Structure 1
Amino acid sequence: MERADLERRLAEHVDAGDTVARDAVAHALATTYGAAALPALLRASVHDRNDDGESLQLDVLELFEAWPGEARAEVLACVSSADPGLRRVGVWGLSVIDLDRRGEHVALVVEAASDPDPRVRGEALGGLGSIFGAGDPRALAALTAGTRDPDPEVRCAAVQGLHSWPGEAVTAVLVARAADADRRVRFWTAWALSGRPGAAATLERLTADDDPDVRAAAGDVLAIGRRASGALEHPWS
């Protein structure tokens, strides 16, 4: 089947929400046309990229590995797109293809953390909180600013991204989010405080939160901390 026909069918399956058919056509495109299939697969990835149709993402990742130059060009085109969905896919793509480039694209993802669309900002903060942004002060600054974003989903992404960053200053930023107006932010704050020195008092307060999920998360984190302390005190047990 011609590439144009496969791309049309792929778009139809995406519009219909048929992830099984979508992934089957995407795989046919990827295996038959290689790098030339990337634009269509990236467009399809705008919708439900992390849902049950994970084979689409696997095909995209395989094309990234097999065609790094073409992948970089397509991902950068997505980042500069007027379509926020494509920008979100592009930001995700940068955090994948940059792993062997030693942070070459961190500045672009930091810039995306200020995108007008909150989904793009959240995607950017997710990348900056991963190994992609690890140790880069620009990533830390963006994540810290993200904890004050007007959108609660973005604040959640920022809080989750700060979990692996050490230091009292980061702990202070997370402690401030324990009073966030959104229960989801407080929930992820409880988990982000796991294992952090000086966080026990905040976690104790969260065990009395109005939201049951927040109370449960804070209790679980405190319990994990107590078990870890017990193991250190009695390493033979």
Structure 2
Amino acid sequence: MSIDSPPGFRSSHARVFGRRPSDGVVVWIGVDCLTDAISEVDETAVVLIGPSTGRSIRADCGSAQTDQVWQGGRMIDGPAALEAVVRHAVELEGDYTDIEPTITALAACGDTTLVSRLNEALDRFLDEENFYGRDLIAGILAGIQGAAALPTLLRASARDLGDDQDSLSAEIIDLLYADKAASRLTAIEFAADEAPALRRAGVWALGFVAEAQDADLLATAATDNDPEIRSIAIGSIMNPAADDRGFHVLVLGLRVPDPQVRVSAVRRLGYTGRTKAVMRLVALAAD
């Protein structure tokens, strides 16, 4: 969330924590304010910025409300809320609906000071192979950091915890579409990594945001030593119905012994609608 600091606050010392659900007000916690600009406001004051008027209203708070975010119209402590989420994921304490308001508040809070703690929690859940905890933390990171969380989430997706990664993939896809230009560069970087698992994540991500100039990269990935990367790359080839080179990459995929790669090539060729594709598929059926 990018909003100018409220009157009376040094921009480097004001911290935004999100919008209050009840009325959409953006809530700032002042760390160091200019008392000569706003008299009577001290370092623990909150300034509320109206969602439409942009006018500031002074509201006194106690010092205990530093590092807090709004949840359901009340203030909660950010670090304590994160601890509650971690505890819930570790101990499976209560239902998801019990912790959901806290997760929603954290994801919307904009408090980047929580990122290091979130990364620690994410690493813990990855090491413990706790995909439920991984998904909860990933959602909060995506909410707080936006597209900047993409590298972290892609690395998390590269760790196989034995689940289908549906929730994590959905978070990543949302980030990819939120900033396609920046996400494309991140995906390209991962697609060129030496580690197969990271290359795999990069090629998959690139498939959502690829541009015409990425055709060579995808064609190269379609010949990767890792069959899963080859399969993903073939599934990401752009417009093979009109592009002869892309079509040729799919045809080559039919010759690969790995069944996963061949199935991916068959599916893409079938959707091209090209006569040559029918001929190739008929030949394959007779093989």
Query: Same fold, TM exceeding 0.5?
Result: yes
Query: Does 2:249 align with 1:137?
Result: no
Match of 1:160 in 2: 267
Gaps of 5+ in 2: 1-78, 80-113
Inter-CA distance 49–106: structure 2 relative to 1 (3 Å threshold): farther
Match of 1:202 in 2: none
Aligned length: 175
Query: Does 2:214 align with 1:105?
Result: yes
Match of 1:229 in 2: none
Match of 2:145 in 1: 33
Amino acid across the alignment from 1:166: G
Amino acid across the alignment from 2:243: D
Alignment check: 8 A CA contact 1:106 1:133 kept = no
Inter-CA distance 49–105: structure 2 relative to 1 (3 Å threshold): farther
1:71 alignment partner, SS class: helix
| Greater gyration radius | 2
Deviation of the 1:169 alpha carbon: 2.2
Alignment check: 8 A CA contact 1:95 1:132 kept = no
- Report Cα offsets for 1:115-134 as digits up to 9, x if no partner: 11111101001112xx6544
- Worse overlay, 161-170 or 117-126: 161-170
Amino acid across the alignment from 2:155: R
Gaps of 5+ in 1: 181-237
- Worse overlay, 22-31 or 7-16: 7-16
Deviation of the 1:146 alpha carbon: 0.4
TM-score calculated relative to the size of structure 1:
0.66
2:272 alignment partner, SS class: coil
Provide the C-alpha distance between the structure 1 equivalents of 2:164 and 2:117, rounded to a whole number of angstroms. Answer: 25
Which of 195, 215, 219 is the matching residue for 1:83?
195
Alignment check: 8 A CA contact 2:154 2:172 kept = yes
Match of 2:231 in 1: 122
Match of 1:177 in 2: 284
Q: CA RMSD in A?
A: 2.3
Alignment check: 8 A CA contact 2:126 2:161 kept = no
Query: Does 2:132 align with 1:20?
Result: yes
Alignment check: 8 A CA contact 2:203 2:218 kept = yes
Amino acid across the alignment from 1:55: S
